Copies of this chain bind each other. A is one copy, B any other.
Amino acid sequence: MINSPSGSIEPYRDSSLDVGTRVADLISRMTLTEKIGQLNQRPLGWQLWQRRGPEVTLTTTLDSELERFGGLGAIYGLLRADAWSGRDWTTGADPAASAEITAIVQERVVASSRLGIPALIVEEAPHGHQALGGTLLPTNLASAASWRPELLTEAFAHVGQELRTRGAHIALASGLDLLRDPRWGRSEECFGEDPLLAARFTAAQVHGLRSEPGVGVVLKHFAGQGAAVGGRNGAGAPIGPRELDELHLPAVRAGIDAGAVGVMAAYNEIDGIPCVANEWLLTGLLRDRWGFGGIVMADLGAIDQLGRTTSSAVETAAVALRAGVDLSLCDEAYLFLDEAVGAGLIDEALIDRACARVLRVKIELGLLDPPAPLPVFPAPWSTDDLVAATPVLLINDDQLLPLDMPGRIAVIGPNGDDRDCLLGDYVPPLPDGAGTTVLAGLRDRLGTELVDHEPGSLLTEPLPGGLDRAVSAADAADLVIMVLGGSSVRHYADTFADNGAAELTGAVAATGGEGVDIAEVALPAAQQQLVEAVAATGTPIITVIISGRPLGLQGVIDHSKALVWAGYPGPDGGRLITELIMGDREPVGRLPVSLPRTGASLPVAYNERLGATRRYADIESSALFRFGSGLGYATWSLGVPRNSGGPDLADAVVSADLTNNSGREGRQIVQLYGRSRTPGLLPRQAVLLGFTAVELAAGATAPVDVRIDPYTIAALGLDAPTTGSAPAPTVVLWLSLDGPGEPPESAITMQG
Interface flags for A446-482 (1: CB within 8 Å of B; 0: not) read: 0000000000000010000000000000000000000
> Which residues of B are found within 8 Å of A617, using beta-carbon distances?
185, 504, 508, 511, 516-518
Q: Are A721 and B621 in contact (CB under 8 A)?
A: no
Q: What's the Cα separation between A717 and B273 when bound, in Å?
A: 10
Q: Do the beta carbons of B270 and A240 come within 8 Å of each other?
A: yes
- Give Cα A215–Cα B88 distance, bound, in whole angstroms: 77
Determine if A720 is an interface residue (Cβ-Cβ < 8 Å): yes
The copy count of this chain in the complex is: 2
Residues of B within 8 A of A278 (CB): 680, 722
Render A719-735 as a binary contact track against B, CB cut-off 8 A, 1 for contact: 01110111100100000
Q: A272-B717, A611-B236, A681-B273 are in contact. Are A183 and B616 (CB under 8 A)?
A: yes
Among A701-752, those with CB < 8 Å from B are 717, 720-722, 724-727, 730
Residue on B nearest A232 in the bound complex, by CB: B614
Alpha-carbon separation in the docked complex, A272 to B685 (Å): 12
Is A31 interfacial (CB 8 A cutoff)?
no
Q: Quick check: B279 and A722 within 8 Å, CB to CB?
A: yes
Contacts A319-B679, A615-B504, A679-B319 given; indicate if A520 touches B600 (C-beta within 8 A). Answer: yes
Selecting from A163-171, A556-564, A602-610, A643-651, the interface stretch reads A602-610
Select which of B309, B520, B614 is within 8 A of A680 by beta carbon. Answer: B309
Chain A 320-352 interface mask (CB, 8 Å, partner B; 1/0): 001100000000000000000000111000000
Asked if A322 and B724 make an inter-chain contact with CB atoms under 8 angstroms apart, the answer reads: yes
Contact call B345/A611, Cβ cutoff below 8 A: no
Of all chain B residues, the one with the shortest Cβ separation from A231 is B616
Docked pose: A214 CA to B280 CA in angstroms: 49
Instruction: Please state if A243 and B271 are interface contacts (CB–CB under 8 Å).
Output: yes
Q: Let me know if A628 is at the binding interface, CB within 8 A.
A: no
Q: Which residue of B lies closest to A608 (CB)?
A: B229
Whether the Cβ atoms of B519 and A600 lie closer than 8 Å is yes
Q: How far is the CA of A621 from the CA of B235 in the complex (A)?
A: 12
- Closest residue to A724 on the B side, CB-wise? B322
A278, B516: Cα distance in complex, Å: 39
Report Cα–Cα, A720/B271, bound state, in Å: 11
Q: Is A123 an interface residue (CB 8 A)?
A: no
A270-B240, A621-B230 known; A598+B519 contact, CB < 8 A:
yes
Assuming the A-B contacts A598-B520, A611-B269, are A239 and B238 also in contact, with contact meaning beta carbons closer than 8 angstroms in the complex? yes
Q: How far is the CA of A504 from the CA of B617 in the complex (A)?
A: 6
Residues of B within 8 A of A273 (CB): 242, 680-682, 720-722
Q: With CB as the reference atom, state the residue of chain B lying closest to A510.
A: B617
Interface residue from B234, B611, B619, B621 paired with A611 (Cβ < 8 Å): B234
One digit per residue, 1 when the CB lies within 8 angstroms of any chain B CB and 0 when it does not, for chain A 664-689 equals: 00000000000001111111000000
Residues of chain B within 8 A (CB-CB) of A280 are 721
**Nearest-CB residue, chain B, relative to A524:** B618
CA distance A752 to B241 in the complex (A): 27
- A581 / chain B contacts, CB cutoff of 8 Å: none
Whether A299 sits at the interface, judged by CB under 8 Å, is no
The residues in A between 229 and 272 inclusive whose CB is less than 8 angstroms from any CB of B are 229-230, 232-236, 238-243, 246, 267-272
Say yes or no: is A318 at the interface (Cβ < 8 Å to chain B).
yes
Cα–Cα, bound, A277→B269 (Å): 28
Residue of A277, A516, A617 ringed by the most chain B CB atoms within 10 A: A617
Q: Is the CB of B269 within 8 A of A682?
A: yes
Contacts A322-B724, A724-B322 given; does A241 touch B508 at CB 8 Å: no
Indicate whether A345 sits within 8 Å of B725 (C-beta atoms), given known contacts A232-B612, A235-B614, A680-B319: yes
B519 engages A616 (CB within 8 Å): yes
- Measured between beta carbons, the chain B residues less than 8 angstroms from A311 are 677, 679, 727, 730
Inter-chain pairs besides A185-B617, A235-B612, 17 sampled, C-beta below 8 Å: A228-B611, A229-B612, A235-B611, A239-B271, A268-B611, A273-B681, A273-B720, A278-B680, A311-B679, A315-B726, A319-B679, A319-B724, A460-B618, A518-B617, A599-B600, A600-B600, A600-B602
12 A–B contacts from the bound complex (CB under 8 Å): A235-B611, A238-B243, A242-B271, A269-B609, A269-B682, A273-B721, A279-B722, A306-B680, A318-B725, A517-B617, A519-B621, A599-B601
Residues of A within 8 A of B (CB): 183, 185, 228-230, 232-236, 238-243, 246, 267-274, 277-280, 306, 308-311, 315-316, 318-319, 322-323, 344-346, 460, 504, 508, 511, 516-521, 598-603, 608-612, 614-619, 621, 677-683, 717, 720-722, 724-727, 730
